[in-house]
Structure 1
C-alpha cells in the first residue's frame, strides 16, 4: 500500500454525515454505525451529523444517535435532535438553529451517504463551497459515477467494456418491447440511471413485466437504463487512493435471489454468499484489478470506490465468454457489517480502523493539494471583500 503523508499530531475533528433524503437512507444509517464504532478515538474526535428524510441536518448525540440500531428494517434517526445549518466560505461554520454556539471547526468530513442527494455530487459540492476536505471522490467523480448512463458512455469511450444498453429519458418515448428484445435479447434489466443498492431495479422477460418495470424505474428517476443480461460471475474489487490508487483482492457475490437485490444486500443475511477471495486464477485476478483501477481513473474517482465487474461465463452477444466487463462503480460503498468494501480490504491486510484512517488522510491530502492552487492562494490572501468602516 502506498504511503500517505501523516497529518498533524493532534486529534483531528471528523464530521460523520449519514442518513440523507434518498431511498438508501436506512442503509446509510447501518454504514455509519460501523464507521463510528471502528474509527480510532485516539486519533480522531467525532462529530455526528444525521440528515433526516427531509434533508435537515441535525446534531446527533453518540449515546443515542440511532433508534432500533440492530434491526435493518426499523433503524431510524432519533426525533428532536438539534437542527444545524452550514455557513459556507473559507471559515465555514456549522451553526445550531437554536440558542447556542457554533460547533467547533471540523478538519474533515466523512460522508457515509448513499444514493441521490448524498453520493451524486450534491453534498460534495456543498463541502467544496465550505472548503472542507471530505472522504471519497469529488463533485465530478461522484456525479458521473451515480449516473449509470454517463458512466457507461465514459467507460466505453475509454475502451473499457460495459454491458450493451439503451437509455430512456421520457416514459412516453420508451422503445417497444419487441425493439428491446431485438437490440438486447431477453431477459433484460430495467433500472433508474441515478440510484444505488438495486433500488427500482427489475429483471424483465415479458412485455407485461417490461411495462411494470418502466413504471417502477421512472418512479425513482427521470432517466432509465435498459441493459442486456450478462451471464457471468459477479466480481467486486475495492479501490483506495488518490493519484496512485490500489486494488484489493477480488471478491465474488453469489446471490441466492434472482439477482443481487436491495433485500439480498441489506435485509436478508442469507441473501447471497460473499466469497472472499474470489476463486480466480492469477491472470484473471490481475486483469480484474487492472480493469478496476482503469475504471476508477476513467471516471475521475479519488479516495475510494467499489468497482463491480462481471466475468462472463457464456457468450452474450458481442461479449464473449471469459471476458471481464464493468457493471458500475459505487463511490460511497456500503460500510455495513456485510458490505464488501471493508471486507475486501480486511482480507487484503487493511483492518477496518486502518481503512478509515487511510480514507481520512487521503481526504486531507487532496484538500491540501487543492489549497496549493494559484487561484486558491490568491483568494485566501485577498481581504478586499472584508468589512469596511
Structure 2
C-alpha cells in the first residue's frame, strides 16, 4: 500500500483504499514512510486507534525524534553530546528579524561560520542549507521556513566525518550495530546524495578506534532509550576528524530500507541477515501489541 503525495491511499494497482479498512486485511503494518505525516507519530497514532500491530517506534518517540528541537532538548537534558544550536519560530522571525539575527550573532559570532540551517520537522535533509556568511544565513532561514514553522541553526563541525549506528530491539534492551561512515560526494550529505544517483560512499565498518566506536555505540543506545524508541532507529553522529570529539546529529525512527540504505547494511555487517532483520522487527511489533493489549486503558 502507498500513500501518495496528495494524501491518497492506494493499493499496488493504484486503486483507492480506505485506511480505516486496514484491520480487515492487514495483520501488521510496516510503515516505511518518511517525513511529516509518515514518521512523526501521525501514522503511528492512526494504527494505534485501529488496534493494528506495526513495526517501529511508537507515537511519542516518532513525534519527538521528528522535531529536531524537541529531540535536542531531551538529549541535552541527559548530557548527550550535541553541537551548539539555536532555534526560533516563524512568528519570531516575522515579528522581529533583526532581534533573531542579533540573538544568532550572540550565539554564533561571525568566526563560527559555516552554519547549518534546518527546518525543525523534516527528514532526509530536505530544506537544509549550509551558510558561509550572513547573506547565506538569511537565505537559508527563508528556505527552511518554507518547510516548517521552526528553524534550527547549528555550528558545522570541522573536519567532519559522518558516522551512523543502527539500533535494534526493545527499549529496555537495545543492541547497537557496527558503525558505518558516509563519505558524501558533495559538501554535505543532502537529499540528492541520499536518494538520487550519487557517488557517495559507505564504509562499513567505519575506520575508528575501538574506544571511539564503543563510545558512540554507548551514546546511541542511551539516546535510543531516553527518547523512548522501540524496535529500530538509525542514529547519525558527527565526528571531528582532528579531535575525535563526536556529537549526536539526528535520530531516524524509520530509516530507509532501499538497496543503498545504511540500516540493513549495518546489521548485515554485524551478522544479521536482511531476512532475519525483518523477522525480528515483526516479532517486536507483535510483542509490543500483545503487551499493550493486556493493559486496562479505560477511564
State the TM-score bracket (shorter-chain normalisation): over 0.9
Query: Aligned residue for 1:56?
Result: 8
TM-score (norm 1): 0.72
Task: Work out which of the two has the higher radius of gyration on C-alpha atoms and give 1 or 2.
Answer: 1
Output one character per residue of 1:118-150: Cα deviation in whole Å (capped at 9) or x when no partner.
Answer: 100000000000000111100000000000000
Conserved 8 A contact 1:166-1:226: yes
For residue 83 of structure 1, report the CA deviation from its aligned partner: 1.2
Residue from 110, 119, 122 that aligns with 1:192: 119
User: Matched residues in 2 for 1:298 and 1:268: separation?
Assistant: 36
Query: Aligned residue for 1:161?
Result: 81
Q: Does 1:366 align with 2:299?
A: no
Q: Does 1:282 align with 2:215?
A: no
Counting matched residue pairs gives: 290
Please give the root-mean-square deviation of Cα atoms over the aligned residues, in Å.
1.6
Residue from 265, 269, 277 that aligns with 2:194: 265
Q: Which runs of 4+ in 1 moved over 6 A?
A: none
User: Matched residues in 1 for 2:15 and 2:201: separation?
Assistant: 41
Q: Secondary structure at the match of 2:81?
A: coil
Output one character per residue of 1:135-189: Cα deviation in whole Å (capped at 9) or x when no partner.
Answer: 1100000000000000000000011111111111023245555643442221100
User: Matched residues in 2 for 1:194 and 1:147: separation?
Assistant: 5
User: Matched residues in 1 for 2:106 and 2:240: separation?
Assistant: 21
Query: Aligned residue for 2:56?
Result: 136
Show structure 1 runs of 5+ residues with no match: 1-48, 62-80, 88-92, 95-102, 315-320, 380-389
TM-score (norm 2): 0.92
Query: Aligned residue for 1:327?
Result: 249
Query: Aligned residue for 1:149?
Result: 69
Q: 1 or 2, which has the higher helix percentage?
A: 2
Query: Aligned residue for 1:31?
Result: none
For residue 268 of structure 1, report the CA deviation from its aligned partner: 2.8
Q: Secondary structure at the match of 1:217?
A: helix
Conserved 8 A contact 1:177-1:210: no
Query: Aligned residue for 2:178?
Result: 249
Output one character per residue of 1:170-221: Cα deviation in whole Å (capped at 9) or x when no partner.
Answer: 2324555564344222110001000011110000012221121111100011
Conserved 8 A contact 2:85-2:155: yes
User: Matched residues in 2 for 1:229 and 1:252: separation?
Assistant: 17
Conserved 8 A contact 1:193-1:221: yes
Q: Secondary structure at the match of 2:157?
A: coil
Query: Aligned residue for 1:180?
Result: 104
For residue 277 of structure 1, report the CA deviation from its aligned partner: 0.3
Q: Secondary structure at the match of 2:182?
A: strand
Greater RCO (Cα-Cα under 8 Å, separation 6 or more): 2
Equivalent residues in 2 for 1:78-227, closer than 5 Å: 81-87=14-20, 93-94=21-22, 104-170=24-90, 171-172=93-94, 173-174=96-97, 175=99, 177=101, 179-184=103-108, 185-227=112-154
User: Matched residues in 1 for 2:103 and 2:197: separation?
Assistant: 36
Q: Does 1:292 align with 2:224?
A: no
Conserved 8 A contact 1:177-1:207: no
Conserved 8 A contact 2:131-2:137: yes
Output one character per residue of 1:349-370: Cα deviation in whole Å (capped at 9) or x when no partner.
Answer: 1111111111111111111110
User: Matched residues in 1 for 2:163 and 2:59: separation?
Assistant: 27
For residue 328 of structure 1, report the CA deviation from its aligned partner: 0.7
